Amino acid sequence: MSKHFLLGKENECRYKAALWTCDLKRPLSLSGDTRIQGLAYIPAGGINYSDALTDYRPEQDIGITDLRLSGNQLPPTDATVSRQLRMLMDISDNTGTGIDIDESYHSFSKPTAIIMTSDIKGTYMGNLILTGDHIEFHKEATVSDIIVSANTVRIKTGFKGRAQIFCSDSVIVEAGAKLEYPSGIYMENTNPYIEIRTGSSVYGYIVVKDNDVSSRQICYVQKPGTSIKGLLYVDGICDLKGHISGAAYIKDCFHRDRDYLYSKTLHDVHIERNDSIAYPILLSGTYTRKPIKNLH
């Protein structure tokens, strides 16, 4: 009898960073209650400790154990993996398979069922791909181990469950919603957008890639009071707050304060390296396989 497993990596890549932010010929500025615990890859211009916004104290223990130069690009994603992930995003145009599914759990020993939907309110568990133009997760839904492929997705307040989401336009995780481990959000497009709102959490990974290399639009917003555990990979500009336990690889970061944007600035964010979790199979390089869970 065959067995099915969800697999990850022991480390996201060879750099094992708490934070990587690209060298775009500007130093990294830290303000507010910002802490980085672990190895940080930073621009050649170094770190500025800004008191322009708040009473930031340069002498406080930020937690950085080592500093290294980052370079002008993020560590690359594996080309084969990226191609497979783009195929998952394209499933949103599928009309469905018409396969009957079990009421409780659709086994991974059976063919994958593709279901067209716009509202996730019932029970969807197991070897399922839910597709549609716009899909909403509602708080009454019971969701585990599924894949969602859509143009836009909204995770409603009160939702709690496990899913991997592949999206081409935008994802909003409303306040108080929780994507439990192992979950993930993957998006690649021109001017994509992900927003993680206050009181919500995502445990697994968040990957957003803006294919417009000259774009000055923010493609990832993480509000105060949020929690991300796992890999955060932003090939674009982010406005980052809250807490990250795992690894954060970000091309560029802005802090928005009322009508002003402060470039290359991290404000009120805690980032800590976590080596106890399994990372997604995404970034290039050799790796040690790490089982995440059995799939029935």
Q: Confidence band (pLDDT; 50, 70, 90) for 59?
A: very low
Q: Enumerate the domain spans of the chain.
A: 4-295
Separation between Cα atoms, residue 271 and residue 273, nearest integer Å: 7
Q: DSSP of 242-282, one letter per residue? A: EEEEEEEEEEEEEEEETTEEEETEEESEEEEE--SSPBPS-
Q: Confidence band (pLDDT; 50, 70, 90) for 61?
A: low
Tens of pLDDT along 223-277? 999 999 999 999 999 999 999 999 999 999 999 887 888 999 999 999 999 999 9
This prediction has a pTM of 0.95
Tens of pLDDT along 69-106? 999 999 999 999 999 999 998 886 666 666 767 668 99
Are 64 and 35 contacting, i.e. CB atoms less than 8 angstroms apart? no
Report how far apart, in Å, the C-alpha atoms of 254 and of each of 17, 195, 220 are: 20, 14, 10
Are 224 and 241 contacting, i.e. CB atoms less than 8 angstroms apart? yes
- Does position 52 have pLDDT exceeding 70, yes or no? no
Q: Confidence band (pLDDT; 50, 70, 90) for 54?
A: low
Tens of pLDDT along 21-43? 999 999 999 988 899 999 999 99
Q: Among residues of the chain, what percentage have pLDDT more than 90?
A: 78
